[in-house]
Structure 1
């Protein structure tokens, strides 16, 4: 692949930053991560720019993958460039305009960024989850990773060593912070907190209609002139619960939703499972946003497992990362048409 020369992480001693409120091993997942190539800061720079423009590359991790390919194709299509899905010369030229947004940024943590509630461990059984006050983040590192559109493992890579996650500490993150947080005055307080935590910029393009494309594994947002203004990688359907092809509408947008668990609607539910009302939270089955559809029992929603988007199957609904679901909720409104196609 062509080297992406224009990122320049000026003045950042990435290897010298400490990161952990306990040893890193205690903050990371119990399972050892699979071997991956090192972070490529030229790719990271492209991901950050694409994310800021509304063409979500999925997890911002400085590595190639199908979500980045889909994001590049969307960006290329809006710029009249051949849709190669690669960082070719023409695409680099088009991205050059946005090079002022650097790939990483240093951020000093404040108390709000580290505020819980935290729930650890989260039980697997729905009936036990229903007893919890929330399905919040399990630890500060998980919250910070989602806030900056990445994973705990990537944050550890960006900040090797040991240290303390605490107010006043400064660490390196992907530079996905919005340029503005001027939320609409009539935005409900619970929405404002969710969107602030996920660093979603309120002033998003207005979506006239959306298209969920099964073959491309993406959700596309179009304006009233049928121009593509945003795109998100998505998980949609399975052999047991296929994507409901057709034209539907968004009925309700619910942020920080509770989840009605009904085992009768899940082919893989356990025989002894009972109906349960699960509390809200980013680690809930539908994440931080539920966009209810005119197709009964179907919706567009977030997920507690962003690394699996477009790589696994769903029970028929459309899953986005929590940060993309929150962003989509600002682009559309009840009544927006949603077309599902092969």
Structure 2
């Protein structure tokens, strides 16, 4: 019998709280703007105790069956309501859940079924034509590195310009802060990168 697909809620919330505390420990910065969206990046909230901070959602383990017919090639669920990304391996023995950022508005949000078509470590970034129209001073291209809004790893989807990718700005996780993509902590997207493959099915809802 394969292990239960449900994650231990108490253990996960404990790790989420630790991640939130780590992000909050960063030095305070002045108002900054996300180069990928042009939106102001809110300052990290002040600590309010030992529980999870408000930029880390309250997660619950999910079963893959209500969302996918099978686990062929593995499955990724991007839950915009809880701002979490869930992963199930093809054999059902591996389940992960990660806090995520989501698009800043419904106009930039796309939902439905897609799949991973490309995996890139050290992605570069090129703003979309719409981004350049809104912000003509943005660079036409940004190489991989600490200033790149795509973070350390990116998973290309069948939808043009849509990615699941990392971020170097941990304040964005758990918030509406992307131009349409799903963002993860760099350490989490690196793990998801290692677990998925080209052909892994993805559902955004």
Q: TM-score, normalised by structure 2?
A: 0.66
Structure 2 gaps of 5+ residues are 1-13, 15-25, 31-42, 64-72
Deviation at 1:331, TM superposition (A): 0.6
Inter-partner Cα distance in structure 2 for 1:252 and 1:321? 19
User: 1:226–1:259: structure 2 CA closer, same or farther, 3 Å change rule?
Assistant: same
User: 1:316–1:241: structure 2 CA closer, same or farther, 3 Å change rule?
Assistant: farther
**What's the counterpart of residue 291 of structure 1?**
155
What CA deviation, in whole Å up to 9, does each residue of 1:304-326 have, x standing for no partner?
A: 21122121231111111111111
Deviation at 1:337, TM superposition (A): 0.8
User: 1:274–1:229: structure 2 CA closer, same or farther, 3 Å change rule?
Assistant: closer
Deviation at 1:238, TM superposition (A): 3.2
Q: Bigger radius of gyration, 1 or 2?
A: 1
Inter-partner Cα distance in structure 2 for 1:242 and 1:290? 19
What CA deviation, in whole Å up to 9, does each residue of 1:121-150 have, x standing for no partner?
A: xxxxxxxxxxxxxxxxxxxxxxxxxxxxxx
**Residue of structure 1 aligned with 2:95, choices 193, 210, 229:** 229
Q: TM-score, normalised by structure 1?
A: 0.41
Structure number with higher relative contact order (C-alpha < 8 Å, ≥ 6 residues apart): 2
Deviation at 1:296, TM superposition (A): 0.9
User: 1:33–1:240: structure 2 CA closer, same or farther, 3 Å change rule?
Assistant: closer
Inter-partner Cα distance in structure 2 for 1:253 and 1:273? 29
Structure with more strand by fraction: 2
Q: Is the 8 A contact 2:121 2:154 kept in 1?
A: yes
**What's the counterpart of residue 24 of structure 1?**
none
**What's the counterpart of residue 27 of structure 2?**
28
Q: CA RMSD in A?
A: 3.1
Q: Which runs of 4+ in 1 moved over 4 A?
A: 30-35, 225-228
Deviation at 1:284, TM superposition (A): 1.0
Structure with more helix by fraction: 1
Inter-partner Cα distance in structure 1 for 2:133 and 2:186? 24
**What's the counterpart of residue 220 of structure 1?**
86
